[in-house]
Structure 1
């Protein structure tokens, strides 16, 4: 069952959450009840697709992969907590990070058409269908963040049950937003009142209706009436531009709809999952765009890749030029982000494209400081929004794979 993929998912999830909602009306929250709901939903999400709704096979390939992956990550996290107390060396840290990423790397390579594994079959089934599971990368992001905060000694103790609840939290398991462990636990432990829950519930209802508008009406119509009607390879330049604009808006409304659903169900369970989008097509420049688009992913890469690279290179004095360090950091950051989407050329080019945009904008900012424009600020903002939208839309066209 694909999360938020059909109305049946909503009926089942909301039905299971009725006791949670009733408790919330009395200003109470039961973590065990939340855990039971998550367990049932996980069972349905990763059930054997060949089985009927309640004819669940717990030994489906996705379920086995999910369980093994979570157990593996928890063992890594618990082991590293113990190691850090006595020996916190860089070599051990990088080994643990490598091991944490390794399962996802294997899945991406096997599922990629570049290496030819995607066509391999075992017992009549494609091997790419037998490994990995929906949302594996989002769980890995959470694990990496925990390991890095253990390294920084911001997290000193880990309870297995807390990690399990964080990693398996069903509203965000398939498409984010990517929450942070300490923030999530803070919601679990802080005071809970009837007034607070009613406010969250009101927002949740609003987000669910907005999500239906975004995903099931706007995104659906764009896909059916525009994208699927254009044969990109034989289309004229004008129609290719129409496709580029349509695909850009489709990506936003489809993914933003998913995010709104995830946030809404998180709120119903008393967890204030952070937002993922903030009117990205109003961005005035490329940096502003990545502060508005898929924010939880963007901020994760900023904190876990870019900032760590800059800190490491600066601390080791490997490069003296701060701007050069920053530029290399941006290229590395977005190249990894591109590879995360998939080990395909167009994803990698998409990542490098945004890295180049960041570098170019950095030089533009330096030039603007020395040569300020005398045009009205509002006019410059409008020009910036138009230019940013078009360079971002072209990036989405690269992302679509239609140019390659």
Structure 2
């Protein structure tokens, strides 16, 4: 049987191109066929959740119905002049929206080795979309609920499994409009460029780092764990760098496919990576790495917590509130990845380094006349940031758990 999971083999791309060709012709001629777009989305969703993943498909259907009712109900509540903007109604909508995801994430704690029967591929990213909508409805940025647009936004198949995470208002702006012929030709060029670059990243470089070299280096590192203190050897460093490169090329390749296909459909899905390993510090890194996720966590968790804390005067110091916000943000992000110790340490590691980064930037601003700034210091900052990130990815990989405890 041909594997038609998203972006896994050439057959998927051939079938995808055939399915998108009528849509592309329509967009080139100035027409957007929403009904046909929906049919294509349903077709490729069927490919994702067919055969042994039928149970996941049924979970997705149930999830979609529940989320539709939650978002529609909350939007109706906010638009009804008889009701006030009650915080607890908003909180209930958020809790109900994330409840299925929370159950899926916590299931392994109570049933080791088992996946939740209500889980499916992409549940996290769909939940981020609906939670973002509920928050923007509360803010008054989204004032009406349209069932067709909501479903198309939620189930947009190029990004359903692993993002990038789009925002409803940005997506609908593209969905409601047809790009000019000149602009669409440019989108086709960008889309094909991203797809071919995605092949280079995911199927060549990702394969080399992740499938060929990483298993060999892993075995060498494990072989020396009893002879090197704490198993720290040159092979462990090799594993750290190799895994970091694999993680980047595999995920960035997938994201390039998702944005490339979106462009062919006339939807300018936000990019996810922007030369992250050229960042000068960890704060800049998170503005370049998995950008739609980091911006989502920043806007909907960090910023809202800081504003709430300032409004309620939880702490007198803005710096202290920002630091607590970092801890909350990255602890949440770590737990979202999983409830194991290394994901939690990964999150706390980033929080602590970001707190230190902010402190350094404040110190540097106050003493900039005494601190050199030249080409060497810039490259040194990139070098230090790169190695800090790679160390965090080593923690994230879970390999240290195998190396030390198993």
Q: What corresponds to 2:208 in structure 1?
A: 221
CA distance in 2, matches of 1:192, 1:362: 41
Deviates more, 1:89-98 or 1:281-290: 89-98
CA distance in 1, matches of 2:110, 2:350: 28
Is 1:193 the equivalent of 2:196?
no
| C-alpha contact 1:27 1:197 (8 A) present in aligned 2 | no
Q: What corresponds to 2:228 in structure 1?
A: none
DSSP-derived class of the 2:314 partner:
coil
Q: What corresponds to 2:18 in structure 1?
A: 15
Q: What corresponds to 1:308 in structure 2?
A: 304
DSSP-derived class of the 1:403 partner:
helix
Of 86, 89, 93, the match for 1:92: 89
Is 1:182 the equivalent of 2:173?
no
Q: For residues 83-162 of structure 1, what are the structure 2 equivalents within 5 Å?
A: 83-85=77-79, 86-110=83-107, 112=108, 115-119=109-113, 128=115, 130-162=117-149
Structure 1 191/223 Cα, relative in aligned 2: closer, same or farther at 3 Å? closer
- In the comparison of the two structures, how many residue pairs are matched? 385
Q: What corresponds to 1:36 in structure 2?
A: 39
Structure 1 runs not aligned, ≥5 long: 51-59, 120-126
TM-score, with structure 2 as normaliser: 0.92
Give the Å deviation of 1:83.
1.7
| C-alpha contact 2:6 2:12 (8 A) present in aligned 1 | yes
CA distance in 1, matches of 2:276, 2:158: 23
CA distance in 2, matches of 1:345, 1:15: 45
Is 1:2 the equivalent of 2:30?
no
CA distance in 2, matches of 1:309, 1:303: 10
Give the Å deviation of 1:45.
0.8
Give the Å deviation of 1:193.
2.0
Query: Superposition RMSD on alpha carbons, in Å?
Result: 1.4
Q: What corresponds to 2:194 in structure 1?
A: 207
Is 1:170 the equivalent of 2:157?
yes
Of 292, 313, 335, the match for 2:288: 292
CA distance in 1, matches of 2:400, 2:258: 32
Q: For residues 342-357 of structure 1, what are the structure 2 equivalents within 5 Å?
A: 342-357=338-353
DSSP-derived class of the 2:85 partner:
coil
CA distance in 2, matches of 1:87, 1:96: 15
CA distance in 2, matches of 1:363, 1:80: 41
TM-score, with structure 1 as normaliser: 0.92
Give the Å deviation of 1:191.
4.2
DSSP-derived class of the 2:372 partner:
coil
| C-alpha contact 2:262 2:269 (8 A) present in aligned 1 | yes
| C-alpha contact 1:27 1:195 (8 A) present in aligned 2 | no
Q: What corresponds to 1:66 in structure 2?
A: 60
Q: What corresponds to 1:359 in structure 2?
A: 355
Q: What corresponds to 1:389 in structure 2?
A: 386
Give the Å deviation of 1:233.
2.8
Deviates more, 1:78-87 or 1:304-313: 78-87
Structure 1 228/301 Cα, relative in aligned 2: closer, same or farther at 3 Å? same
Of 372, 375, 379, the match for 2:376: 379
Q: For residues 261-340 of structure 1, what are the structure 2 equivalents within 5 Å?
A: 261-340=257-336
CA distance in 1, matches of 2:112, 2:268: 38
| C-alpha contact 2:302 2:326 (8 A) present in aligned 1 | yes
Q: What corresponds to 1:77 in structure 2?
A: 71
| CA deviation string 1:19-44 (max 9, x = no partner) | 11222332322111111100111111
| CA deviation string 1:169-224 (max 9, x = no partner) | 00000111100000000001234322121111111111110000000000101123
CA distance in 1, matches of 2:67, 2:101: 11
Deviates more, 1:362-371 or 1:91-100: 362-371
Q: What corresponds to 1:234 in structure 2?
A: 223
| C-alpha contact 2:192 2:260 (8 A) present in aligned 1 | yes
DSSP-derived class of the 2:400 partner:
coil
